[in-house]
Amino acid sequence: QKEVEQDPGPLSVPEGAIVSLNCTYSNSAFQYFMWYRQYSRKGPELLMYTYSSGNKEDGRFTAQVDKSSKYISLFIRDSQPSDSATYLCAMNTNAGKSTFGDGTTLTVKP
């Protein structure tokens, strides 16, 4: 069983839709949680970083962490065609080892 499971997708939504991306994890040593966006032929770009249970908002993006359920989510409001990319969840232990989910490919259609 993988330490991090991410909804595989692919996901296709119309422009303006609310997108929900999700990951679950099994390792209690994960303390820090990130969401990255990766465009084709580019490196992952950090979108959100959080370390406590609850919600964190940044513009159209909201990251949600539930440590008791070992579940994290990323919500994208008013999705745009430019949001079309692969979204990766990632989790860190205190030692700095990052484990990534397999990624969800999102397409936002105009």
Partner 1 sequence: DTEVTQTPKHLVMGMTNKKSLKCEQHMGHRAMYWYKQKAKKPPELMFVYSYEKLSINESVPSRFSPECPNSSLLNLHLHALQPEDSALYLCASSRGGLLLGNQPQHFGDGTRLSIL
Question: Which helix (H) or strand (E) segment is 65 a member of?
Answer: strand 61-66
In the complex, the residues that contact partner 1 under the rule CB under 8 A are: 31-32, 34, 36, 41-46, 49, 51, 88, 92-103
Nearest distance, CB of residue 2 and partner 1, angstroms: 10
In the bound state with partner 1, the residue whose beta carbon lies nearer, of 2 and 109, is: 2
Question: How near is the Cβ of 30 to partner 1 at its closest, in Å?
Answer: 9
Closest to partner 1 by CB, 49 vs 71, is 49
Q: How far is the CB of 78 from partner 1 (least distance, A)?
A: 25
Report, in Å, the least distance between residue 15 CB and partner 1: 25
**HEC assignment per residue over the chain:** CCCEEECCCCEEEECCCCEEEEEEECCCCCCEEEEEEECCCCCCEEEEEECCCEEEEECCEEEEEECCCCEEEEEECCCCHHHCEEEEEEEECCCCCEEECCCEEEEEEC
**Cβ nearer to partner 1, comparing 42 with 109:** 42
Nearest residue (CB) to partner 1, 17 versus 22: 22
